[in-house]
Amino acid sequence: MTEILPNPAHTNDEPSAQRSSPDHWVPRFRPTERIAHWWTVVMVATALVTGLAMGEEAESGPMLNVHVASVVLIGVGVVVALVFGNTRAMLRSMRALFVFDRLDIAWSLGRLRHPFQRESHPAWGKFNTGQKVMAWLVSASMSLVIITGFQSWRSGGDMAGPHMAAAMATLALLGAHVFMALVNPSTRPALPGMVLGRVRRSWAATHHRGWLDDVEHDASSPRN
């Protein structure tokens, strides 16, 4: 059962009202999810760096072996996490990340009708529409990288152009993801969720109210 984690600076002697202040920590990602995420980050980065280092000329050699191995290990890492890690947590997060619900559709239609109108944050679940779109775009671009890379290898380098284009598109998307995680003030507070597994309740209440309500409901439910 998910539990709300208090701020480590609080002690058991503090009043309960202070411990339940809006800025205490709430759990967001479990260790399996975090390990799978950072494993994927490292393998994707390795694939991109070795691919850019090789350019369009490499057809064999140690650099190509590392390049191919890193791509294969992306899938291996996900499978290992699903089989040996917290399978339920992984599947729930994957479903939340890749499935668009009625709130996503309603918000998207609203933005199309009133693209310049500023509005308050909807009661997003674990991920908002932008995060879901980004996940699909990165998945699609990575799939194109793998497909065009295999075709380039089979054709002796004739498909190197499309492969490089797909890799650059993936690099641009990942750059946007890094910007949102490290630079953008409104989304930067989410980073501790993927590093430490927890985020501030005040941030979650503003940006992922629906998810926070579910977490707190689960935490307050009696154990079986």
* 19 inside domain: no
Which residues lie across from 198 on neighbouring strands? 27
Q: Is residue 48 a part of any domain in this protein?
A: yes
Tally of domains within the chain = 1
Q: Determine, yes or no, domain membership for 21.
A: no
Angle between helices 87-98 and 31-54 (to 10 degrees): 60
Which DSSP category does 58 fall into?
Answer: -
Read off the tokens for 41.
């980050």
**CA neighbor of 2 nearest in space, from 207, 206, 204:** 204
DSSP letter for each residue of 136-205: HHHHHHHHHHHHHHHHHHHTTSTTHHHHHHHHHHHHHHHHHHHHHHHT-TTTGGGHHHHHTSEEEHHHHH
Assign residue 145 the CATH number of its domain.
1.20.950.20
Whether 199 is covered by a domain: the verdict is yes
- Retrieve residue 50's tokens: 């070795």
Strand pairing of 25-27 and 198-200?
Answer: antiparallel
Residue 33: which domain range? Answer: 27-107+121-209
How many Cβ atoms from other residues are within 10 Å of residue 67's Cβ?
21
Is 137 a domain residue?
yes
Residue 113 lies in a domain: no
Contact between 37 and 85 (Cβ < 8 Å): no
Q: What is the pTM of this model?
A: 0.81
CB 124 within 8 A of CB 103: yes
Residue 167 falls within a domain, yes or no? yes
Tens digit of each residue's pLDDT, the chain (224 residues): 444 444 444 444 433 333 445 579 999 999 999 999 999 999 999 998 888 887 665 566 788 889 889 999 999 999 999 999 999 999 999 999 999 999 999 999 988 888 777 766 789 999 999 999 999 999 999 999 889 888 877 776 666 788 888 888 999 999 999 999 999 999 999 999 999 999 999 999 999 999 999 999 888 776 65
203 occurs within a structural domain:
yes
* Six token digits for residue 49: 């760096």
**Helix, strand, or coil (residue 13):** coil
